[in-house]
Amino acid sequence: MDSNNFLSAKQAKVYNAIKKRIKAKRYKPGDKLIENDLADQLNVSRTSIRAAYKFLAQEGYIKLVPNQGAYIADFTSEEIWEFFLIRESLEKLATKLAVNKISEEKLIEYKKAFIEAEKSGNKYDILEIGDDFHQYIIDVGSGKRLKELIELLQVPILLIRNISETAPGRIYKSFQEHKDILDAMIRGDEEEATRLVGEHIVSTRNGTMNMLLQQGNLEKQG
């Protein structure tokens, strides 16, 4: 569902601005949204802000707390752990199905793009190519139902990733993991590519949990 179809122009402006700021990592889980500030920044009424909030809450981006306001959604340690377990299972399956479907030409294109991103040393280039490659695997390997299941995790994973990427060296470690997955796919090694995707997700999960532990936001998982 595209919520923009149900919002006025000003409400859609708020809705899209908040989503864009989340994706740009300007907000992290648990941050409070200041209604007056948003109204001033976006030149809209508080009524438009509140209307947009309802749709953002329905989609899981924010939580509305009576008499307190709107907060970027956050999650318990158990929820985060479970999100990653589900993601690992679904994306390993998507990878297994994708290996023999992706064209060699496309894989070579990605290889060149990875080399260019590495040369640039720009973390945003590195993030972008890694994300693009990861999504491409899902798109190629997933049928309609599998893709729908993976999409259910997009909002929490996006918000959680805003934490994991703050871990020292995590962006570049993730980049290397994606390169290894790509190399396995170029070789047509279904088993290795699937294993590496699982390891990449587990590595991301562990980095996220460690960052939250350091920040004092959760108790250590057993």
Residue 55 in contact with residue 6, Cβ under 8 Å? yes
Residues 43, 86: one domain?
A: no
Residues 84, 68: one domain?
A: no
Q: What is the CATH number of the domain that holds 193?
A: 1.20.120.530
Residues 128, 201: one domain?
A: yes
Domain count, the chain: 2
Structure confidence at residue 217 (pLDDT): 60
Residue 3 in contact with residue 55, Cβ under 8 Å? yes
CA distance 42 to 4: 16
Q: What is the pTM of this model?
A: 0.79
Q: Which are the contacts of 63, defined by CB distance < 8 A and separation ≥ 6?
A: 57, 70, 71, 72, 73, 74
Asked if residue 20 has pLDDT above 50, the reply is yes
Residues 68, 81: one domain?
A: no
Residues 118, 12: one domain?
A: no
Per-residue pLDDT band at 27 (split at 50, 70, 90): confident
Asked if residue 215 has pLDDT above 80, the reply is no
Residue 29 in contact with residue 162, Cβ under 8 Å? yes
